[in-house]
Chains A and B, each alone.
Chain A
Amino acid sequence: MQRITVHTTINGTSYSIEVEPRLLLVDLIRDKAGLKGTHVGCDTGNCGACTILMDGLTVKSCQVLAPRARGAEIRTVEGLARNGDLHPIQEAFWECDGLECGFCTPGMLMTTVAFLDENPHPSDEEIRRAYSGNLCRCTGYLNIIKAVKQAAETMG
């Protein structure tokens, strides 16, 4: 099969990766760049475990072909903590017990980064609507709502 080279930046590091054009972006991130924090939960774009940021916007990386990431700035969960300091969103999820098994968490965190960027002071109702594309099977969500609000408060 024909192969093409994808130049992309993930969490500030440049990658030049030769791929089959059909490779999913999530597999480029996980298998080629070796960043296993982004997960696959459903393959159909419903669960949001694979949510990453591409040029600042949330993208379900199981729904995007890797070549689409050419020239893009990608941010994944591994890019949240800086020099060992947790991001305020990570702190808030920990503090509010906004996770259990942790499988959906990276997607939830990345959605939160983009969401609070756009809406720094959200209401409960706005949070509920914004996160309907990120499924969690463990927590029942209520602590995630708390975590998002706490993160919003911390980040001002």
Chain B
Amino acid sequence: MATYVGKSIKRKESFDSIQGKNTYLSDVHVPGMLHACIHRSPYAHARVARVDLSEALAQPGVVTAMSGEDVRRLSRPMAPFPFTKTKPYTSDYPRVRFADHYCLAVERVRHVGEAVAVVVSEDRYAAADAAEAVRVEYEPLPPVVDVEAALEPGAVRLYEAWPDNIQYEFRFSEGPVEELLGEASVVIRERIVQHRYTGTPLETRGVIASVDQRDNLLTLWSSTQVPHALPNLVLDTLGRTDLKIRVISPTMGGGFGIKWAFYPEEVLMPLLSLRLNRPVGWWESRSEHMVASHHSRAQVDYVEAGFDPSGRITALKTQVIVDLGAAYPSGGTSLAFVTANFIPGPYRVDNYATTSFGVVTNKTAAGPHRANGKAESNFIMERVMDRAALELGLGKDEIRLRNLIQPHEFPYTCVTGSTYDSGDYPACLRKALEHVDYGALLADRDRRSGEGRYRGIGLAFMLEPLSSLRPNAYNAGYETVTVRVDPVGKAWVFSGDMNMSMSHRTTLSQVVADELGVRYEDVQVFEGDSALCSSSSGSYASRFSTVTLSAAIKASRAVRRKVLAIAAHALRTHPDALECTGGMVLSQEKPGVALTVKEVANIAYYSINQLPGNMDPGLHDTHYFINPNTSFEPDAKGRTSNFSTFPYAVHVAYVEVDAATGETTILRYLGVDDSGNMVNPMIVDTQVTGAISHGVGGAFLEELVYDDQGQILSGNFADYLIPSMAEMPDLELHHMVTPAPFTPGGFKGAGEIGAIGPPVVLASAVEDALAPLGVKIMRLPLKPENVWRAIREQRDGTTGEETATGEET
């Protein structure tokens, strides 16, 4: 019986946060710590001719300095991530290349902001002074900035050892796609441009390393989502087999995927600490963050989709070109894999061909950002559906209803091999139409449009594959939780997951309290320390509720069985006759006969002569919960199944566009989602709302802009705008619940689906508003400037560029 699960309980995490008592990375105090400051490349692409550290070393307070040549001598190229090997594949698995990047640039820099040298000082301000005194001679090389130009034969190559700029390639084909496209009554052909933006957690990254020579123990504090992967990565890169390593990820001020990577500073600080035998720390400034922490989302896509006269999709062909930036171990190749696999999305697509490239350019490395690859795949497919609806004269709702996978088809194996777990897609769409009163909204739009006013309605269906895995990788496809009832009857939970801001302490407490039958207040949760669990894949792809809570449920149930067995033995009854709730073991047969969990724990730890025969002392269990509904091995068609759960949502937006300025105002924004059972509906709502704010930023404000020399033009929060309270629309959020069939709690994960929605649905709405002008929206972001240009282009046949440079007003 659920006492806590399903309830909107106030978060345990908040108590410290509202008093400023959290310890984030930059609050960690390590006695005697020195401060490192990094000199970063001002060039997108250049040969590093000479690094002169002498002036920096002469600065007051400076203890040491290093260049790329030093780290080449002292370490190896950074280990691959998330793959554990550079050649992990059989021939039928996608092709991927790795580059040799050290933790400081050797010989060549490949993006603005690449780490080139480091100085260490007693004082943080003095370290910054000294980093300015590092003298580097750069010989600029032509930069590779445009991702499509990077693919052309004869393009400048980033890595001389590679034949081209393609880091990753994925191809898939099923069915007679070309033939069906030829026969289709309507074919939609589009080029879609998705822009570069990223997670920008409010807390930037930071790393502290400290070496205990007595024990050969290296302690690394890092604001990372993968504290359990780092020991292997760091030691492999250091080339040290004599060291032990413990990684602690303190309270995290947001991650959003950006801290799911292996970063150079995570090698650099250990190298410095080992050299100096003192703790050395660094934390990122915001302007460093914008060039040194990974970017995301940028891709150019080509799509062809064939429809029959009834509006059913007959064939789909796509080419995905992801702009990966430099090939650092940031996990960026997954962007190309995930996008290409899930463009068919929630629709029945039987014939699909895709080619997907991850292409290196002279920009900051790309990696995951909330709804990794899925914000992109949904954008492509939903743009296609809107265009097809227009061509076929169908409503946005109708074309989707005609193509959605039907509830009786679950579990549904999609064309690229994943098995969608459960849901009722048409019901979700109908529920959204009902809540928003779609008919009335259409009438309102028509009534209030015209005479220079442009109102539009966007509608989008989003599918979000969650809880992913890969073979031979750190995201290996399981999660570990240890549950222990201690001798005083309190529950201790050790999770390998990492709380980025998603309330793990609260929700783990709710689940464990219910499963064990103890009080919520009596559960203590620990995370973010590699010493706590043997292994973990860390935090990504909203996997916490799917695999971590499942592991917690299984471990709790094992401990509960033991509690009941001990109690039954003591009470001379059968475990089935007992119930454990609120920290009490009660007899269901004889009211009043009871033991406290503390009394049971006392027997388990101290009166082991009273244990049932052959039972070990103690009350604890460690469970490895393996990702359900997945398969590593390619099937007959070469397909793998890499995701466990498939939440989905429908978003509807009503907007007004000012055609004179290109500015969009959101009048209404409504969402219906299905993330399975909810542990804490309040937390789900906050997660969804926060994710939608990321999407609103991505749709309207956030863009990592590069010029044609590869210089970043949005290198701080004055130029890279994230939404403030003023830009956040009011939301109407609704849920439907289809329990996940393959997880014991029925949870699917709720952290990311919201982030997919706004770019998709707002593009739909803006296009609808500007339909009288014939404007097509195939490019993000929907900044006023871009929308204004699109209007000009359509109206005047000019590109808008000429106007912007002042030839016309």
- In chain B, residues 369-424, which have Cβ atoms closer than 8 Å to a Cβ of chain A? none
**Separation in Å of the A66 CB from the closest CB of chain B?**
12
Q: CA A109 – CA B124 in complex, angstroms? A: 28
Inter-chain contact B253/A43, CB cutoff 8 Å: no
Q: CA A90 – CA B17 in complex, angstroms? A: 9
Q: CA A39 – CA B287 in complex, angstroms? A: 16
State which of A36, A101, A140, A145 has its C-beta within 8 Å of the C-beta of B253.
A101
**Separation in Å of the A84 CB from the closest CB of chain B?**
10
**Separation in Å of the A105 CB from the closest CB of chain B?**
5
Inter-chain contact A97/B686, CB cutoff 8 Å: yes
Inter-chain contact B690/A140, CB cutoff 8 Å: yes
Please tell me if B64 contacts chain A, counting CB pairs below 8 Å: no
**Separation in Å of the B77 CB from the closest CB of chain A?**
31
How many inter-chain residue pairs (CB < 8 Å) link A and B? 172
Binary interface profile of B, 685-707, with partner A (CB < 8 Å = 1, else 0)?
Answer: 11101111110000000000000
Inter-chain contact B716/A44, CB cutoff 8 Å: yes
Inter-chain contact A43/B287, CB cutoff 8 Å: yes
State which of A36, A80, A90, A129 has its C-beta within 8 Å of the C-beta of B726.
A129
Instruction: Give the residues in chain A near B694, CB-CB below 8 Å.
Output: 137
State which of B10, B202, B689, B722 has its C-beta within 8 Å of the C-beta of A101.
B202
Inter-chain contact A99/B19, CB cutoff 8 Å: no
- In chain A, residues 115-153, which have Cβ atoms closer than 8 Å to a Cβ of chain B? 127-129, 131-145
6 other A-B residue contacts (CB within 8 Å) besides A136-B725, A137-B722, A140-B686:
A99-B17, A132-B724, A136-B202, A138-B686, A139-B686, A140-B692
Instruction: Give the residues in chain A near B27, CB-CB below 8 Å.
Output: 36
Inter-chain contact B200/A137, CB cutoff 8 Å: yes
**Separation in Å of the A117 CB from the closest CB of chain B?**
19
How many of chain B's residues have a CB under 8 angstroms from any CB in A? Answer: 58
Whether A101 contacts B686 in the complex (CB less than 8 A), given A37-B21, A132-B726, A140-B691, comes out as no
**Chain A interface mostly:** loop
Inter-chain contact B725/A137, CB cutoff 8 Å: no
Please tell me if A55 contacts chain B, counting CB pairs below 8 Å: no
Whether A101 contacts B252 in the complex (CB less than 8 A), given A39-B203, A44-B717, A141-B728, comes out as yes
Q: CA A151 – CA B251 in complex, angstroms? A: 26
**Separation in Å of the A87 CB from the closest CB of chain B?**
9
How many of chain A's residues have a CB under 8 angstroms from any CB in B? Answer: 55
**Separation in Å of the B531 CB from the closest CB of chain A?**
23
- In chain A, residues 11-28, which have Cβ atoms closer than 8 Å to a Cβ of chain B? 20, 22-23, 27
- Using a CB–CB cutoff of 8 Å, the interface residues on chain B facing chain A are 10-11, 13-24, 26-27, 124-125, 199-204, 251-254, 256, 285-287, 500-503, 682-683, 685-687, 689-694, 716-718, 722-726, 728, 730-731
Inter-chain contact A43/B731, CB cutoff 8 Å: no
Inter-chain contact B125/A102, CB cutoff 8 Å: no
**Separation in Å of the B805 CB from the closest CB of chain A?**
29
**Separation in Å of the A37 CB from the closest CB of chain B?**
2
Inter-chain contact B18/A105, CB cutoff 8 Å: yes
Instruction: Give the residues in chain A near B717, CB-CB below 8 Å.
Output: 41-42, 44, 46-47, 135
Inter-chain contact B18/A131, CB cutoff 8 Å: no
Inter-chain contact A102/B16, CB cutoff 8 Å: yes
Q: CA A59 – CA B796 in complex, angstroms? A: 48
Whether A145 contacts B725 in the complex (CB less than 8 A), given A43-B287, A101-B202, A137-B256, comes out as yes
Q: CA A94 – CA B14 in complex, angstroms? A: 6
- Using a CB–CB cutoff of 8 Å, the interface residues on chain A facing chain B are 20, 22-23, 27, 35-44, 46-47, 49, 76-78, 80-81, 86, 90, 93-95, 97, 99-106, 109, 127-129, 131-145
Inter-chain contact A39/B724, CB cutoff 8 Å: no
Instruction: Give the residues in chain A near B728, CB-CB below 8 Å.
Output: 128, 140-142
Most buried by B among A37, A44, A46, A101: A101
Whether A109 contacts B724 in the complex (CB less than 8 A), given A100-B502, A104-B202, comes out as no
Q: CA A94 – CA B9 in complex, angstroms? A: 11
State which of B17, B683, B716, B725 has its C-beta within 8 Å of the C-beta of A141.
B725
Q: CA A139 – CA B694 in complex, angstroms? A: 10
Instruction: Give the residues in chain A near B16, CB-CB below 8 Å.
Output: 102
**Separation in Å of the B392 CB from the closest CB of chain A?**
36
Q: CA A23 – CA B124 in complex, angstroms? A: 11
Whether A36 contacts B718 in the complex (CB less than 8 A), given A101-B501, A103-B202, comes out as no
Instruction: Give the residues in chain B near A78, CB-CB below 8 Å.
Output: 19-20
Whether A137 contacts B21 in the complex (CB less than 8 A), given A100-B502, A102-B13, A102-B14, comes out as no
Inter-chain contact B254/A138, CB cutoff 8 Å: yes
List the 4 shortest-distance A-B pairs measured between CB atoms, nearest first.
A37-B20, A102-B17, A103-B253, A101-B501
**Separation in Å of the A82 CB from the closest CB of chain B?**
12
Instruction: Give the residues in chain B near A46, CB-CB below 8 Å.
Output: 716-718
**Separation in Å of the A39 CB from the closest CB of chain B?**
7
Instruction: Give the residues in chain A near B682, CB-CB below 8 Å.
Output: 97
For A40, the closest partner residue in chain B by CB is B26
For A94, the closest partner residue in chain B by CB is B14
Q: CA A81 – CA B17 in complex, angstroms? A: 12
Instruction: Give the residues in chain B near A135, CB-CB below 8 Å.
Output: 202, 717, 722, 724
Inter-chain contact A44/B14, CB cutoff 8 Å: no
Inter-chain contact A103/B24, CB cutoff 8 Å: yes
**Separation in Å of the B527 CB from the closest CB of chain A?**
14
Q: CA A97 – CA B655 in complex, angstroms? A: 28
Inter-chain contact B202/A47, CB cutoff 8 Å: yes
**Separation in Å of the A116 CB from the closest CB of chain B?**
15
Instruction: Give the residues in chain B near A100, CB-CB below 8 Å.
Output: 13, 254, 501-503, 686-687, 690
Inter-chain contact B10/A97, CB cutoff 8 Å: yes
Q: CA A131 – CA B500 in complex, angstroms? A: 24
Inter-chain contact B689/A109, CB cutoff 8 Å: no
Q: CA A15 – CA B201 in complex, angstroms? A: 33
Whether A144 contacts B18 in the complex (CB less than 8 A), given A41-B203, A47-B202, comes out as no
For A91, the closest partner residue in chain B by CB is B18
For A34, the closest partner residue in chain B by CB is B29
State which of A39, A86, A136 has its C-beta within 8 Å of the C-beta of B18.
A86
Inter-chain contact B725/A105, CB cutoff 8 Å: no
Inter-chain contact B20/A76, CB cutoff 8 Å: yes
Instruction: Give the residues in chain B near A137, CB-CB below 8 Å.
Output: 199-202, 254, 256, 690, 693-694, 722
**Separation in Å of the B418 CB from the closest CB of chain A?**
29
**Separation in Å of the B695 CB from the closest CB of chain A?**
10
**Separation in Å of the A138 CB from the closest CB of chain B?**
5
